[in-house]
Structure formats: C-alpha cells, structure tokens
Structure 1
Amino acid sequence: MDTKTLSDFIAWSKTTDLQEVVFKKDGVSVEISTAAKNPKASDFSCKLTAVKAPAVGIYGLGKKGKAVTVKENMAVKQGDILGYVEMNKTVKEVSSPVKGTLKIILASEGAAVEYGQPLFFIEP
C-alpha cells in the first residue's frame, strides 16, 4: 500500500463513526483505532437525577388519605411528592429534587428500602 492511499484512507476514517479497522493482506497488517479500548468511568456522563430514600423503612404511595400516583414519563415539578417512607410510626415524604420527566421507577408499594437507596430517576 503506497503512502498516498494510506493517507487517503486515514482522512476517510476520520469522517466515519468507525472505532477500529484492521487490514491484513500479503503479510502487511494495518490497524487504526480512533477510540480508547478501555474507557474510563469519567468518559461517561448521565443526566438523570436520582431520587433517594430519605430513611430506612417501607415505601408506599400514600398515607392516611394522601395517595399519590407515579408513572414513567410523567412530568414532575421540584418538590412533588412521589411517595412516603414509613419507619417506626414516623412517615417521611419522598419528593422530587428537580423539575423534569420521571424516567425510571425502582420503588414498589410495600417494599423495604435503605437510606439513600435510589427509588426513582428523573431526567431534568
């Protein structure tokens, strides 16, 4: 392979979303990689905000006449009540920390939860 062809190939590879190309012919081997083979955790980002359990206890959607409805893809405002955690006759509200769309529901009625456990994920 001459250098002009190789140069043209490299220029073309920069215009594609290919991450790795291996070419082998007649004892010649060319490998081109445009992405790290072992990405670091810092290479990824997430825009979802976790709504965490405020205490250890039992998660529920309601308390004495104040039931709430939650479903995926519903709009929520900052401060909206998403449920309650009850422990030792004390009830703590689970509220939305941000305005956005409720994307993932991990909490289920009557489930035991740990302090800081993610119950929901909201996309701001």
Structure 2
Amino acid sequence: MEIDRIKKLIKLLNDSDLSHLEVEDKSGHIVLEKQISNVPPATAPVEAKTFEPEKTAKKVIKAPFVGTFYTSEQPDKAPLVKAGDKVEKDQVVGIIEAMKMMNEIKSDLSGTIDKVLVTNGDAVEYDQPLFTLKD
C-alpha cells in the first residue's frame, strides 16, 4: 500500500468519530485504531443570573381562595380601592364570589395601593396576587 494512501486513511480516521479503520485491497491490508476519550465536548459556560431584589420590596395582597373577583360590592358602585389609595389592616379591598357566596377580601397589611393586578370580573386562583402595596 502506498504511503500517500496510508496518510489519507490516517487523516480520514482522525477527522471522523471512528475509533477503528480496517482496509484491505490488492496491495495490502492495514488496521488503524485511535483512542477515544469519554469526556464530553466542552460547552460554552452559561452566564448565571443573579437575583437582585427590588430596591423597595413590595407587599402583596393575595386571593385567599379561588373565585371571581369584584372591585365593589355592587356593579354600579365605585371600586372599594384603586391605585394610590391608603389601606389599613382589615380594610375590605375587594369581593371574591365563590360557590355563589360573596366573600369580602380584607387587607392583611397597611400601606398604599401601588398596583391593582386584577380587573372586575376576573377569575382568580388561590394565592394569586391581587394588589401590590408600598409603604
């Protein structure tokens, strides 16, 4: 077997995922082997995301159960609270209808309503944030 052909076979083996190459023709027989490591190829490092808490942590009023949220006691009345309103602990901030019962939702915190996160008539889940408060 010619040296140029052997060099091409070595290159073929090195450029492939093969670990063993055996060639036989009229001019001869050659067996080539290479060691393959079990180390997986290196991957680019993943940039870690760091959690940075908000500068002013917000308090949240959450739904105590599943139901339909209403902003007021009657459809034609103004909302019980809106963004910018001050609320005290145990103040009614909304109504959740569950199993045909209207349940008052009372704030367990004092502060100022920063955002109203749900709208009148929205279906809400247990522990779903309804309002955010700021001090």
User: TM-score band, normalised by the shorter chain?
Assistant: 0.5 to 0.7
Deviation at 1:64, TM superposition (A): 5.9
Deviation at 1:49, TM superposition (A): 0.8
Does residue 121 (structure 1) correspond to residue 129 (structure 2)? The answer is no
TM-score, with normalisation over the residues of structure 2? 0.55
Structure 1 segment 76-95 matched on structure 2, within 5 A: 76-95=87-106
Match of 2:63 among 53, 60, 71: 53
What is the match of residue 63 of structure 1?
73
Match of 2:53 among 24, 27, 44: 44
Q: For residues 123 and 70 of structure 1, do their structure 2 counterparts lie closer, same or farther at Cα, with a shift above 3 Å needed?
A: same
Match of 1:73 among 76, 84, 89: 84
- Is the CA contact 2:86–2:113 (under 8 Å) kept in the aligned structure 1? yes
Deviation at 1:90, TM superposition (A): 2.1
Deviation at 1:123, TM superposition (A): 1.1
Which is bigger in relative contact order (C-alpha 8 A, separation at least 6)?
1
- Is the CA contact 1:58–1:113 (under 8 Å) kept in the aligned structure 2? yes
Alpha-carbon deviations, 1:88-115, whole Å to 9, x = none? 1123222111111100101211111111
Alpha-carbon deviations, 1:39-59, whole Å to 9, x = none? 622x42452111111111100
- Is the CA contact 1:100–1:122 (under 8 Å) kept in the aligned structure 2? yes
Q: Which runs of 5+ in 1 are unaligned?
A: 1-36
Q: Decide which structure has the larger Cα Rg and report it.
A: 2
TM-score, with normalisation over the residues of structure 1? 0.60
Where has structure 1 moved over 6 Å in runs of 4 or more?
Answer: none
Output the amino acid matched with 1:58: T
What is the count of residue pairs matched by the alignment? 86
Aligned-partner Cα distance in 2 for 1:96–1:54: 11
Q: Which runs of 5+ in 2 are unaligned?
A: 1-46
Identity %: 29
RMSD: 2.2
